[in-house]
Amino acid sequence: MLLNSPLDLAKIMAMANLLSMFILMEMIVSGFGFGVDGLRMDYYIMSCPFAESIIKNTVNRALRNDPTLAAALVRMHFHDCFVEGCDGSVLIDSTKDNIAEKDSPGNLSLRGYEVIDDAKDQLEEQCPGIVSCADIVAMAARDAIFWAGGPVYDIPKGRKDGRRSKIEDTINLPFPSFNTSELIKAFGQRGFSAQEMVALSGAHTLGVARCSSFKARLSNTDPTLDSDFAKTLSKTCSTGDNAEQPFDTTPNTFDNFYFNALIRKNGVLFSDQVLYTTPRTRAIVNGYAMNQAMFFFDFLQAMVKMGVLDIKEGSKGEVRENCRKIN
Ligand code: HEM
């Protein structure tokens, strides 16, 4: 082929990039050996063709009203997937016989349930009993990331909703007091490499932490914490345990500022800052801080992988009528 201009070369490279991204997604998805009921990118194409657009429009509308919900929806997907797999178990309300995941201390500051309910109500009207709550959470997180300026990516659909949601299972969520080895272990147990763990932690480019999540760092001098930033955190905490501290200077924008904050010793959680303090993960943080495109690419791959953790297929799950209750 004859190349007439640098523009032609750029076009070819862009196409090659797109193609390799597509092949990679297919590999990630097919690598999990899904059966007949398995996940597919076009899962709802016949049964509920407008599912994707209904969810996207609902998310966009909600985020226009409250941009901080982008962070909430991304975190909700993580907390769903790390406990009992991506099965919508985090959405279930407690009953008189069962204290559900959402009432555990680690989940009390989760938000955005009403966005999922809103999408579900519309989907039940259009195509009753078809679109699972777990898929809605996964798609809402993806759409929130894009809305906030992050990478665009497709995810496989067809997750079924779980029938178990117990407070004690949330012990599997990582704690903000974890050091790097503990973080690597917690993510390693679910099949993630240290690099994928750092990429996923980059979700903290969105949102805030409450004082109760980081105040332990302020009682004795923490050498990994910049002294001016320690004053900022103390000031935040002076208004109480629920006072919020943004993870970086652009909490509603998906960018790589979080990693630059870590380099400046401005990480909010202990579990954030250790990623830079520990030699094993420091190079990864430096890489993402320097190269946002590399962060975006690693992040989206890790998110697609996280989104298929222990999914329930066929009769192992159901499509809930109401995301807050098992059928
Ligand atoms: C690496 C281990 C992780 C730990 C220890 C951790 C811990 C935390 C903590 C303590 C908060 C603040 C909660 C509060 O004070 O209310 C938080 C917020 C958040 N986390 Fe993580 N997290 C981790 C990984 C992740 C991952 C993998 C994701 C998503 C892929 C994620 C997404 C978020 C988001 C977006 C927020 C902000 C929520 C908001 O503003 O409403 N986190 N995380």
pLDDT of residue 327: 97
Q: How many separate domains does the chain show?
A: 2
Instruction: Name the residue at shortest CA distance from atom 35 of ligand 1.
Output: 71
Q: Does the beta carbon of 309 lie inside 6 Å of ligand 1? A: no
* 167 shares a domain with 40: yes
* 220 shares a domain with 162: no
Tell me, in angstroms, the distance from the centre of ligand 1 to residue 258's CA: 12
pLDDT of residue 110: 98
* 213 shares a domain with 298: yes
* 212 shares a domain with 137: no
Q: Tens digits of per-residue pLDDT, 265-307?
A: 999 999 999 999 999 999 999 999 999 999 999 999 999 999 9
**CATH number of the domain where residue 112 is located:** 1.10.520.10
Q: Which domain holds residue 138?
A: 34-173+307-316
* 149 shares a domain with 107: yes
**What is the distance between the alpha carbons of residues 41 and 153, in angstroms, rounded to a whole number?**
11
Model's pTM, two decimal places? 0.91
Residues of the chain under the 50 pLDDT cut? 1-2, 7, 9-10, 12-14, 16-20, 22-23, 29-36
By the 8 A CB rule, do 104 and 170 touch? Answer: yes
Return the amino acid letter for 103: D
* 233 shares a domain with 193: yes
* 268 shares a domain with 210: yes
SS3 state of residue 161: strand
Helices (H), ranges, 66-98: 69-82
Pocket test for ligand 1, best of 73, 75, 258 (most atoms within 8 A of CB): 75
Q: Tens digits of per-residue pLDDT, 93-133?
A: 999 999 999 999 999 999 999 999 999 999 999 999 999 99
* 191 shares a domain with 127: no
Look up residue 109 and give its DSSP letter.
T
pLDDT of residue 32: 45
Tell me, in angstroms, the distance from the centre of ligand 1 to residue 227's CA: 23
pLDDT of residue 243: 98
pLDDT of residue 324: 98
